[in-house]
Structure 1
Amino acid sequence: MRELKILGVVIFFTLVVYIGVEPFAHSQMHPHVAPANFNFQEESIDYATEEVKKAEEKLDEAKSNNKNVEIAENQLKADKKLLDSTTTFWNEIAKIDLSKGDATKGAETFMNAGCVGCHGIKSQGMPSPMDDATASASFGVVPPDLSTAGKLYDGTFLAALIKDPVKALKVEHKFSETKPHPMPQFFGLGGDMNQELADIVAYLKSIAPKTLKDEEVFENACQRCHDIKYAKRFSNTEKGALANYMGSTPPDLSMMIRSKGKDYLQTFINNPQKQLHGTAMPRVGLTKESQEQVINFLEDTGDRKKEERESLGMKVVGFMIIFTILAYLWKVKIWREVH
């Protein structure tokens, strides 16, 4: 009977830690964020709105403590200004009718707008205009080849990216008028700018492959900045230039799936600012399908034993249950003989 009481006490305190303490600790180390949202207009406005709410709460707290009030007020002003500009920008993007894009005209606009000055499209016989070393030194990161862009990226995001990279990528905290983004804004060629944007997107969609392997998605979406040595894939951007551009060297992603987990990465890739506010990593703008392929590749590369490990865990639990029962029966038998 005494053993059962001891077991009950152990179970009680285990449950207290698991149900009470662990969730609280997890909430402090990994605060809850909104899930990934592939409606980029809605996601951007919602995120900016949430930042304003947080700033208002911090201002109320600062006033109640009479500490850092001016700092909190300035932050609130900055967040409100960002919300206004974000809302205006995405409302303008919403006016673009991508269904009316003309791929043929888009090809002409792409050439006339000077996009080929930085980007190659190897699938169309247009190599990158610079070698990797020159591009790294010029831009800080090698501009992507756009052969697969129409497959990888959401069409609305592509239009937003072409129009204003800083807004689309959510890197307003990193770039400004005094420190411009390497990719300039698109101001149109003198005609209907919204139609020109729709045409360029239609062109990129028309030349994109119908399918891509997981590793191809990773190569085109992530490998300009990130290594993944387990798969023997390395960034083609010069490391020193990349570190200077980003503020630090982007991490090798070989073990990222195990250190962060799938749920974290789904939100992080969709909008890095949610999980790591102020990070220099831009929002990638992948479609839901492309993002899943990136995560699948990270799992296949960095966590090949996942299914085996999870199945072994259940076997260990089963063994411990059986062992506990047998140990208890053996204990009862021994003490029965003693008494």
Structure 2
Amino acid sequence: MKEMRILATITALVLITYYGIEPYAHHIMHPEPAPADYKFSDLKNVKKVKGNAVNGKTLVEANCVACHSIESAGFAKMMPDADAAASYGVVPPDLSTAGKIYETNYLANFIYDPVVATHLSHKYSAESGKTYPMPAYNWMSSQEIMDIVAYLQQVAATVKVDVADEASIEEQLKAQHRDTFVNACGRCHSMAYAGWSALTPSDVLKEHMGAAAPDLSQYIKSRGEHYLHSFINDPQNLLHGTSMPRVGLTEEAQEDVITYMEEIGDSKKADRESLGWKVMLYMLVFALLALAWKKEIWKEVH
């Protein structure tokens, strides 16, 4: 059993060394970020009152559709994406699913003041001379803003996933993940492995944001699911000073986005995980066979 004692000693040394290094590497040099806040509790400018979707429709028609499309409600784009990007620095989002993918408190406070809601005060300020593409509607009452939110949520409830009627449940879920990614991320980010190109041209976005938005095809591998959950919820927690806005997704919508990134960037994850225990079992069997063979060969010597 000499070999087993050697193995046990080496294993103990490795574990002790790892335990000594890991807390420093992962908790001091790279501290754990604050947990994701899907209620966006720091945003308190808009009172939580019951919205009136009928009045919200009137307000949206008067204040929003000059820049935003709502294709599902019959409001088409006012200009091609390239022209919109050149005018605003980024393609304005279609609002068909805004009431579903964005958390209610975030959406209301975003309408009130986009810069505060997105945590981009360091980028858009009097000192920087830069102006956020969307103006603040802080002159509106909380009731009016919540009316707009109520209308957008009513519209979002009618939007169906773009998938064939005969599609399986798995195909429907994948289509839902794709649609959420496109609506939440696709204006700035490409996903080359899925054949998706960002709606906003890279050079325009770089001039507007200060850096080109990365292709997200392999981010599920290079960053990991845990990192992405924290980063998407609030980029400033992990990359202070970044020009990426806080997006304000609901927990469900964010899960859809990350699941889609995994489906595209790590499509073999399930196969790999199902194979792992088989490989370990294979190694264990042959380790035992090797040990038995060694004992048989050297039994006369020992």
Q: Report the TM-score when normalising by structure 1.
A: 0.80
Mapped to 1, the partners of 2:112 and 2:179 lie a distance apart of 26
What is the deviation of 1:317? 1.7
Match of 1:266 among 229, 244, 261: 229
Match of 1:302 among 257, 265, 268: 265
Is 2:295 the counterpart of 1:332? yes
Matches within 5 A, 1:88-103: 90-93=43-46, 95-97=47-49, 99=50, 101-103=51-53
What is the deviation of 1:265? 0.8
Q: Identity of aligned pairs, percent?
A: 48
Tell me which residue corresponds to 1:121: 70
Tell me which residue corresponds to 2:242: 279
What is the deviation of 1:29? 5.4
Letter aligned with residue 157 of structure 1: Y
Match of 1:314 among 261, 277, 284: 277
Do the aligned partners of 2:57 and 2:151 also contact (CA within 8 Å) in 1?
yes
Do the aligned partners of 1:170 and 1:282 also contact (CA within 8 Å) in 2?
yes
Do the aligned partners of 2:177 and 2:260 also contact (CA within 8 Å) in 1?
yes
Mapped to 1, the partners of 2:17 and 2:70 lie a distance apart of 56
* Structure richer in helix, relative to its length: 1
Tell me which residue corresponds to 2:79: 130
Structure 1 unpaired stretches of 5+: 45-89
Match of 1:202 among 127, 137, 150: 150
Tell me which residue corresponds to 1:159: 108
Match of 1:175 among 115, 124, 132: 124
What is the deviation of 1:337? 3.2
- SS of aligned partner of 2:299: helix
Is 2:58 the counterpart of 1:108? yes
Mapped to 2, the partners of 1:254 and 1:184 lie a distance apart of 32
Mapped to 1, the partners of 2:90 and 2:155 lie a distance apart of 24
What is the deviation of 1:22? 3.1
Tell me which residue corresponds to 1:7: 7
Letter aligned with residue 6 of structure 1: I
Match of 2:95 among 146, 149, 165: 146
- SS of aligned partner of 1:159: helix
Structure 2 unpaired stretches of 5+: 162-175
Q: Give RMSD over aligned pairs.
A: 1.6
Judged with a 3 Å threshold, the aligned counterparts in structure 2 of structure 1 residues 188 and 142 are, in CA distance, closer, same or farther, namely: same
Do the aligned partners of 1:132 and 1:238 also contact (CA within 8 Å) in 2?
no
Judged with a 3 Å threshold, the aligned counterparts in structure 2 of structure 1 residues 265 and 244 are, in CA distance, closer, same or farther, namely: same
Of stretches 124-133 and 215-224 in structure 1, the one that deviates more from structure 2 is 124-133
Do the aligned partners of 2:48 and 2:146 also contact (CA within 8 Å) in 1?
yes
Of stretches 229-238 and 29-38 in structure 1, the one that deviates more from structure 2 is 29-38
Equivalent pairs, count: 285
What is the deviation of 1:180? 1.6
- SS of aligned partner of 1:116: coil
What is the deviation of 1:21? 1.9
- SS of aligned partner of 2:300: helix
Q: Report the TM-score when normalising by structure 2.
A: 0.89
